[in-house]
Structures are given as C-alpha cells and as structure tokens.
Amino acid sequence: MRIHFLLARRVPPVPSPVCVEVYERLRDRGVAVDDSIPEEIQISTGELAVRHDLYVLKSHTEFALSVAGTLNVLGARLLNPHWSCLLTQDKITSTKLLADAGVPVPPSWVTGDFDLLRPLLARSPLIAKPHRGHRGQGIHILRGIQDVKDLCTTEGTFLFQQYLKADGEDQKAYVVGEQVYAVRKRFSPTAFQHFGRPAELDARTRDIVLTCGRVLGLHLYGVDLVVTADGPFVVDVNYFPGYKGVPGAAETIADYIYRYASGRVQTARVQDGEPSHV
C-alpha cells in the first residue's frame, strides 16, 4: 500500500509533529509513505498521474487544493475528499450548509459594500472572516466605523458574523471518524500553535460536532466552538488540524487512515443518508 501526504510549508520549516508520528505508525504496518509540499516541487501537468493508493490532504493552500483536485479528476482517492475540503474552505457555503442542517452558527451576512454594515455594527460588533480562509488567518474584529474603513483597504471577500461573547474559554473539538476529542483554549491567529487543556463535551455538543463532519463530508477535522450563555456555536471548521493536546492522536489517526485506504471505513453520504464504503 502506498500513501502520499500533500503538506503545507511550515514556519519555521520543521515537520508537523503529528505527521511524523503518523508516518512511523503507518510504516510499522508495512505502508510505503511519502509526502510533498506542492509549492516546492515542479509538476508536469501532462505527466501527473495517480501513483498512490491514497492521498492525504494536509495543506490548505489554493495550490495544494488544485493539485488534489486534478488527482481527484484522474481517479485518485483522497482523505479528506476533495469536494469536502473545498466546501470547508469556503466559509460562506459551509456556514449556510451547517445552518440548514441545524448546527448553531452565529448570525451571518455577506456583502461587497462595507457601508451596508453600519446598521449591523450599531447593534453588535462583527467578525470579518476571509470567505476562503483557515486557522483564523485574516480575521478582523469590527467594533466601529473606523474598523470598517480599515477593512476597505483589504482585498478579498468576507463573511461577516455577529461577535459572540464567550462564557469562559473557547472549545476546540478534534475528530477522527466518529471519535471526538476536545480541548479548551482561546482562539487567535496563533492558537493552532498551542496546546489546550483537555475538556469534556456534553452529548449535545458532541452531536453538533459530528453533524459538521457529516454535512461537509469530513473524516479528519477540527471544530471551533464558542460557548455562550445561549449554548455552543460553531464558528469554524477545518480539515486535518494539528490535533495538539490530544493524547495518542497519531495512533488513532494512523489507524483510521490505514482502514480508510484499505476500504474498511463506512460512512453516510450526505445526499441520501445511505451508508457507503469508501
């Protein structure tokens, strides 16, 4: 069995700790594992072909998504599925899909005319998120008109959400298949670099987290939750996070990837709710 990981550049340029451990455990099972950072290699589109039994998409860059998409068209098997990664990366589409599935998300708006945000700001601060973003990068808190003016100098399309006041620390859920782990920590653009404190999720929150994966078709993913006086709200979903602070994460992930590559993972298709083998 051959498995290839599509990785992102890291600063500083050190390997992802969880990936290093996952590789070791897969190799212990006889799997041939290799990886690449798409931006750092030359790819001949005419010679690009499926040469592995499974491709694991760890990178969130547009370049890596395009390479994964090309492999998908050629018939490659990907984890997470390519269309799931595209949906998850698109914060406008994914927020709508989650809301329609009953997942609690903050009130959200989209507009290209930032002046239209004035009435909303009169009621509550807003969070501006790049519509194709990840790991909290490029997020702005808008508390007044000056913040809106500053945002006007920023290129890109944004999803605007009502700012929610957390009742204590935020929660981060990490999921491998149907296994859910949780930590508590403050969200920030650098939060993904830090470990959180282990936490327990109640049954309702766990169901919310798993619903996110089923709606978006994800297998390895993370969910950011803000817990308010009105309950938990999902503020972000990312595919294949770092699983920092999760004991034994590498073994669990490696086992899932191995079973997925072997065709022994069963999942429910969002379209019809019927189980299918992947």
For residue 154, give the CATH number of its domain. Answer: 3.30.1490
pLDDT in tens, 63-88: 999 999 999 999 999 999 999 999 99
Residue tagged 């019927």 (tokens): 274
Report the percentage of the chain scoring pLDDT > 90: 69
1 and 52 both lie in a single domain? yes
> Residue 195 has what pLDDT?
66
Q: Helix %, strand %, coil % for the chain, to 5?
A: 30, 25, 40
Question: Does position 136 have pLDDT exceeding 80, yes or no?
Answer: no
Domain presence at residue 182:
no
* Six-digit token string for 152: 């006007």
Domain presence at residue 10:
yes
pTM for the model: 0.90
Cβ-Cβ contacts under 8 Å for 8 (sequence gap 6 or more)? 37, 58, 59, 60, 61, 64
3 and 75 both lie in a single domain? yes
Domain hosting 274: range is 1-79+248-278
Domain presence at residue 41:
yes
Residue tagged 């990490």 (tokens): 174
68 and 121 both lie in a single domain? no
Residue tagged 């501006």 (tokens): 128
- CA dist 226 and 140 (Å) reads 17
6 and 53 both lie in a single domain? yes
Domain presence at residue 229:
no
pLDDT in tens, 5-18: 999 988 777 888 99
Domain presence at residue 236:
no
pLDDT in tens, 185-220: 765 555 555 567 888 999 999 999 999 999 999 999
- CA dist 217 and 83 (Å) reads 8
23: closest CA among 45, 5, 48, 8? 5
Domain tally, the chain? 2
63 and 2 both lie in a single domain? yes
Domain presence at residue 112:
yes
251 or 184: which leads in pLDDT: 251
Question: Does position 277 have pLDDT exceeding 50, yes or no?
Answer: no
